[in-house]
Amino acid sequence: MNTRTYAPIASRTVAFLGLGVMGRPMAGHLVRAGHRVTVFNRTAAKAQSWAAEHSARTAATPREAAAGAAIVFACVGNDDDLRSVVLGGDGAFAGMAAGSVFVDHTTASAAVARALHAAAKSRGLAFIDAPVSGGQAGAVNGALTVMCGGDAVPFAAIQPVAMAYAKAVTRVGESGAGQLAKMVNQIAIAGLVQGLAEAIAFGQKAGLDMKQVLEVIGKGAAQSWQMDNRGATMIDGQFDFGFAVDWMRKDLGLVLDEARRNGAKLPATALVDQFYADVQGMGGRRWDTSSLIQRLK
């Protein structure tokens, strides 16, 4: 059992690496919660504009941002992006003091989470894989759901800090478990969106007032977050709600790779992944995931 003391709550100094559509509002919530936040972004102008808005400081490298931080948060694009901000002479690990914690909000592979957890432990650091659900709106509103994998003691130390931008921060197991839980989340979403797309397209072909129909069936067993939040906009052909098809295909690629390793059978998920490829081919790479309905029209 790890007996190292992780006490980041005693220090209000944190770092945030990656100021994209998710990271930018998440870092802002940390400032509003009273933390001293240093940020790094590969596009320096984005970091500078964020820092000016929040009276915070920027760093030229992840290592510089991490120096003196009790917790280093990150939210970048994929496994390679994550490695680039963590490892190497300018990576965050090189700047972090023993006993500090790296919290990764990237949706990445379980394998990279486990590898970075081991690398952190060899340096006297902790690594928590902590992918999020809730999309851009959840980040802006401080209402994300965070699924965490890693050691229990550092998780307990970072949990109340991460609640600055979340409605739930839950440890679901050892290193990599957070990423696996996010894969479960994406499997469920993919099937739900496809089912909703087919239902709406069917109802429209049948000549029904689908907004009225969704209002009716949304009070029964068919109700879902996707129906409540994306049903009407799918009917109206609006697909600009944050989580792009390109990112969903990246996530489903991680899911299908993991399924090949563990033997899980995911026929519906594999099919929906190909449907998203069709949407990309229609020019919908930056449309949100509810745009599955476009290929049925």
Q: Which of 155, 165, 67 is nearest to 117 (CA)?
A: 155
For residue range 235-267, list pLDDT tens digits in order: 999 999 878 999 999 999 999 999 999 999 999
Cβ burial of 57 (10 Å; 0-12, 13-18, 19+) is middle
Q: Is the pLDDT of residue 7 over 70?
A: no
pLDDT of 86 > 80? The answer is yes
pLDDT in tens, 234-243: 999 999 987 8
Statement: residue 5 has pLDDT above 90:
no
Q: Is 167 assigned a catalytic role?
A: no
Please say whether the beta carbons of 79 and 109 come within 8 A.
yes
**Res 195: pLDDT:** 98
Distance CA 275, CA 288 (A): 13
What's the CA gap between 152 and 1, in Å, rounded? 9
Percentage of the chain beyond pLDDT 90 is: 94
Sign of CA dihedral 68, 71, 76, 81: positive
Residues 230, 240: Cα–Cα separation, whole Å: 11
**Residue whose pair of structure tokens reads 């449907």 in the numeric block:** 275
CB atoms within 10 A of CB 209: 11
Q: Using one digit for the tens of pLDDT, what is the confidence trace for 17-74?
A: 999 999 999 999 999 999 999 999 999 999 999 999 999 999 999 999 999 999 999 9
Q: 17 is written with which tokens? A: 């690496």
Mean predicted confidence (pLDDT) in 85-111: 97
pLDDT the model gives residue 241: 86
Q: How far is CA 110 from the centre of its chain?
A: 14
Strands 36-40 and 13-17: what pairing?
parallel
Give the distance from CA 214 to its chain's centroid: 29
Q: What is the DSSP string of 223-286?
A: --HHHHHHHHHHHHT---SS-BHHHHHHHHHHHHHHHHHHT---HHHHHHHHHHHHHHHTT-TT
Which residue in 46, 121, 182, 211 is the catalytic one? 182
Domains of the chain with bracketed CATH:
8-174 (3.40.50.720), 181-296 (1.10.1040.10)
List the one residue out of 88, 132, 136, 90 whose CA is nearest residue 251: 132
pLDDT number for residue 98 = 95
pTM of the model: 0.93
At 146-189, the pLDDT tens digits run: 999 999 999 999 999 999 999 999 999 999 999 999 999 999 99
pLDDT at 11 (0 to 100): 57
Q: In the predicted model, is pLDDT for residue 2 greater than 70?
A: no
Q: Which residues of 240-264 are buried (b: 16+ CB within 10 A; e: fewer)?
A: ebbbbbebbbbbbebbbebbeeeee
Q: Is the pLDDT of residue 4 over 80?
A: no
In a 13 Å sphere around the CA of 246, the CA atoms on its Cβ side amount to 8
Quote the mean pLDDT of the chain: 95
CA distances in angstroms from 37 to 13, 59, 67, 82, 90, listed in the order given: 6, 11, 12, 19, 19
